[in-house]
A and B are shown apart, each in its own frame.
Chain A
Amino acid sequence: MTDHRALYGAMLRIRMVEEEIASRYAEQEMRCPVHLSIGQEGPSAAFSLVAEVKDFAISTHRAHAHYLAKGGNLGAMIAEIYGKVTGCSKGVGGSMHLADKSVGFMGSSAIVGNSIPVGVGLGLAAKRQKNQAISWIFLGDGATEEGVYYESVNFAVLKQLPVVFVCENNGFSVYSDESVRRPKQQTIPDVAESLGCVSISVDGNDAQAALEALKSVSARVRDGQGPALIELHTFRQREHCGPNFDDDLGYRSEEYLDKWKLRDPLDLLRSKMTGADDAKWIEETQSKIATEIDVAFSEAKEARFPTLQECKELVYA
C-alpha cells in the first residue's frame, strides 16, 4: 500500500512536471531541446524509492525524471530549462545537462553513451569510499550500441564496482527501431551477462515490478558483489525531442502503439489503488504538486539570464 502511493506519487509528480513543460513549450520561452519522459516514469519512480542520498546517479539527454527521482531541486531544473542563472547549471547546460551535486545527481549528457563511463568512474570513487554507496547509470537502448558501453561494463565487472546500469529500453533510437540496430537474437541483458554483468529484464511500465527488480539488484550491488544491469521495457508516448505526439509519421506500427497505449504506467498502478481514501489522496497529491509546479515556473520566468561574463567564469576552476 505504501509502495503504491509512494510509487504513484513519484510518477505523478514527474508526469505533471513534464506535461507542464509540454503545454508551455509553445510559448517559446524554454528555448532548448527537451526530451520528455512521459510514459517512461516507472523506472524513475522505483529508483526514487531504492536510491540512497549517498548514492551517485548519472543520466542522458532524457534526464528530467531521473534528476527529480534522485531528489534534484525542481525549481532549479525548470529555471535551467528557461536558461536562467538560477538554474541548476546556471543556465549554461539546459534540459540535457542537469546536475544537483547536493543529492548525488552528478550530471547528464546529450551525447549518447557519454555519461556511462563517468558513472563507472563514480562507482570507482564509491568503492574507494567504502560506504556501500552505489553509482546508478541511466542509459537508453541506443547507448548499448556505443563502443564505450562495452568498455565501461567490462571495467566495472573487472573491478567489481558498485554500479547499476539502468537501461530504459523504449525500443527506438529516435525513429530507428531495434530491428535495424541489433540482430534479432541479441538482447541487451544477454550481452551484458556475457561480459560478466548480472542482468535482468522487466516491464518498466509496471512500477511495482520495476521496484522489486531494483531492490533485489541494488541489494546485491550494495553488498559488494559487483555490477548489475537492469533492462526496463517502456514506451515513449511523445516525440523523441519536443512536446508533441508524432505518431502521424508512422514509424511505430499501429499494433505496437495499441499495445503500449493500454499500458500507461500511471493508469496501470492507479487501477490497483482501490482503497477507500485513495482517490482523495490522489486528488490532494495532485493539488500539492500543482502548487509546487506553479511556484517553480513563476520563479523561473522571473529570474534573469546569466551574463556572458558569468559563463566565462565557469570554464576553469
Chain B
Amino acid sequence: MPENAREITFADAVQEATAEAMRDDESVILYGLGVNDPGRVFGTTAGLVEEFGPERVFETPTAENAMTGIAVGAAIAGVKTIVTHQRFDFFLLAMDQLVNSAAKWRYMFGGQFEVPVVFRLITGRGWGQGPTHSQSYHSWLAHVPGLKVVMPSNALDAKALLKASIEDPNPVVFIENRWLHQTTSLVTKGSEPGELGKSRVVAGGDSITIVAMGYGVVEALRACNELKKLNIHCEVIDLRTLSPLDIQTIAESVTKTRRLLVVDLAPETGSIAHTIKTRVESGFRPMELPYTGVLCGLDIPEPTSHGATMNFHVDAGAIFLKAQTILGSVSSIPNQLNSFPNDVPPQGAFGPF
C-alpha cells in the first residue's frame, strides 16, 4: 500500500484530481450545469468554487453546444477548460462543436493551436434512467479523429486519468458511469497523472482474455471470480482509453490465452468491441487465429420499466456464459451472479440517481 493512500470513492477521486490540477495550474477553469449547486455533480465538484472562486468555477446557461465551442475558444487562447455534463445524453446537443470545432481546431489550421479541453460526461444505468438518461456513445466518439476518449473503471484510474486528461493538449472526452461513483479504491493525495492510451491487465490468467471498459470492468471481474471456481482463469484487461486505442497490450495477452472476449455495455452495432476484435485478429496468421467473440448491449434503447430491464443489461452473468461459449464449456450462471434487484449497483441499493 503506497504511503498516504486511503480508501476514497470514485466521485471523491474526480474531485481531488480537479482540485489538484487547479492548484497546480492557474489557467484551469471548470464550468457546467450543477458545478456549484447543492448536489455538486454527485459530489465531484464539492468545495471547488469555495477554493478557486467564481471566476474559475461557474455555472452556465443550459446551452450545451455554445458552452462546448466557448471551451474551444478559451482553450486555443491558453485557458484549460473542464466542462461537466450530468448525463452524456445532454451532450448530444453539442456534437457540432465537439466534432467540427474541438476535434478539428488543431488539425484544420495546420497545427497552430492546442485545444486543452476536458468534457466530463456521466452515463446512467438502471433505476428507470431509460431511453435518454442511460446512453453512452463512447464508440461514436472514438470514431472521431482528434478526440481522445477515456473511460475509467475505478477511483484510482479516475484520478490518474483525469489529471492526465486536464494536462493533455488535446480535447478529451472523459466518461464516468454513474454506478462507479460510489465505488472505492486506495488513492494517494498529490499523485502523479496517469498515461492516456494505455490499457491495464487487472486480473492475470491464461484461459481467456476479457477486455472491458468503464463499469463493464466491474461486471467482468465479478464473472472472472466465478469462472475461477470452474478452473477458468481469465485475464481481464481494463481498456481505460478508447482513443488512442492500446491494441498491443490486448494482442500480447491473446497470444498467450488464444481466446478473446470483448465486452461493451452499449449497443452492439458500431461498437468499438468489433474494432478491437478485428484488429487483434489481424495480427494473427489465418491458420493461427484465436477464438474470439464480443458481448455487447442490445440494439434497443434502455426501457424505463425496471420489469423490462430484467434481461436488458450486459452483466456478470452474461459475461460468465459468453466466456464459456468461447471456451467451449457449458455451466449455468451461479447464484452469486443472479443479482436482484438488477437496476441498482451490486454494492448496494440507492436511488434515484
Contact = CB atoms under 8 A, between A and B. Distances in A.
17 contacts: A87-B110, A89-B109, A97-B109, A99-B109, A107-B105, A109-B101, A114-B97, A117-B70, A117-B72, A118-B70, A121-B75, A124-B73, A128-B55, A151-B66, A155-B67, A155-B70, A314-B110
B77 interface: yes
Nearest to A133: B77
B312 interface: no
B108 A317 contact: no
A309 B112 CA distance: 17
Interface in A26-60: 56, 58
B107 A117 contact: no
Given A121-B77, A125-B79, A152 B110 contact: no
Given A111-B96, A121-B75, A125-B78, A152 B69 contact: yes
Nearest to B105: A107
Most buried by B among A128, A154, A313: A128
Contacts of B74: 121-122, 124-125
Contact of B68 (A117, A122, A314): A117
Closest 4 CB pairs of A and B: A121-B73, A117-B69, A151-B66, A90-B110
B60 interface: yes
A140 interface: no
Interface in A190-246: none
A155 B145 contact: no
A107 B100 CA distance: 12
Contacts, number: 149
A118 B76 CA distance: 9
A101 B113 contact: yes
Interface residues of A, number: 47
A154 B70 contact: no
Nearest to B81: A121
A315 B114 CA distance: 10
A99 B113 contact: yes
Nearest to A76: B110
Given A99-B113, A109-B100, A92 B73 contact: no
Contacts of B75: 121
A125 B148 CA distance: 23
Contact of A117 (B55, B73, B81): B73
Contacts of B55: 128
Interface in A101-156: 101, 106-107, 109, 111, 114-126, 128-129, 135, 147-148, 151-152, 154-155
A317 B80 CA distance: 14
Nearest to A147: B65
A256 interface: no
A93 interface: yes
A74 interface: no
Contacts of B113: 99, 101, 106-107
Contacts of B169: 317
